[in-house]
Amino acid sequence: MHFIGDVHGKLTMYLKMVSYLKDTIQLGDFGLGFGGNMSRDKMYHDKLNEMIADRHMILRGNHDNPAAYKNLPTYLGDYGMYKGIFFISGAYSIDKCLRTEGVTYWSDEELRIVELDKAISLFNKEKPSVVISHTCPLEIIGETSTIKLSIKSRTSQALQAIMDSNHKPKEWIFGHMHCSYRKKVKGINFVGLNEMELYTPKYTLPEWKD
């Protein structure tokens, strides 16, 4: 299994990267729907639909139009389990005041509280060894951000609740923060991926093997 950080519309580079990989997950901010470019989005859809589902899957970030992902076969979903991995999409845009709603910002970029609660319940039920998300828990945001983020979004708070739960995953992989981050915190190996960064764990999924 391979993981790729934020793409932000760099489709040519992304397609070249995954062309030789058999099993990848892109961690959100792919850029689908961002900017309202209909012809570009159609190309995105066509190229993504050509990919083999279960081989090249993607999460949704805050630079992605949620509506554009509903019928996309390569979209993992809002939250759930995939090959033994717990995943959760969405994030909060701290710069939404500078964007245009419906074009570069969407009010449903984050999951609703009821959905986040269900995601937390699923995590506690499944007790996965690996978690992937677009953004990361509040505690990790504080370590990876180059600016002081005073906004506690409902997504980062939900992820913090997962991090603080009794079950500790062995690894947590995320994007969003635009930095390469590797640190063990509270017994969890956190891996933050920079834009277009490729990460291949040393273990075998879905079973964790040292």
Domains and CATH numbers, the chain: 2-199 (3.60.21.10)
Q: Identify the residue whose tokens are 């899957």.
A: 57
- Give all strands of the β-sheet with 181-185 in edge-to-edge order: 79-82, 85-88, 130-133, 171-174, 188-192, 181-185
Higher-pLDDT residue of 98, 58:
58
Helices (H), 55-112: none
Tokens of 125: 């039920």
Residue 207 predicted with pLDDT over 70 = no
- For 30-62, what is each residue's pLDDT tens digit? 988 887 777 777 777 788 878 787 788 999 999
**CA distances (Å), 129 to each of 53, 84, 152, 157, in order?**
23, 8, 26, 20
Q: Identify the residue whose tokens are 């076969």.
A: 73
Residue 99 predicted with pLDDT over 70 = yes
Q: Quick one: pLDDT at residue 131?
A: 98
Rounded percentage of the chain residues whose pLDDT exceeds 70: 93
Helices (H), 82-180: 113-126, 138-144, 154-163
Which of 2-11, 49-58, 99-108 is the least confident region? 49-58
Higher-pLDDT residue of 116, 143:
116
Q: Judge if the upstream peptide bond of residue 66 is cis by omega within 30 degrees of 0.
A: no
Residue 146 predicted with pLDDT over 70 = no
Reported in sequence order, the residue ranges of the chain that DSSP labels E, i.e. its strands, are 2-4, 24-26, 56-58, 79-82, 85-88, 130-133, 171-174, 181-185, 188-192, 198-199
Q: What is the mean pLDDT of the chain?
A: 89
User: Could you say which DSSP state residue 135 is in?
Assistant: S
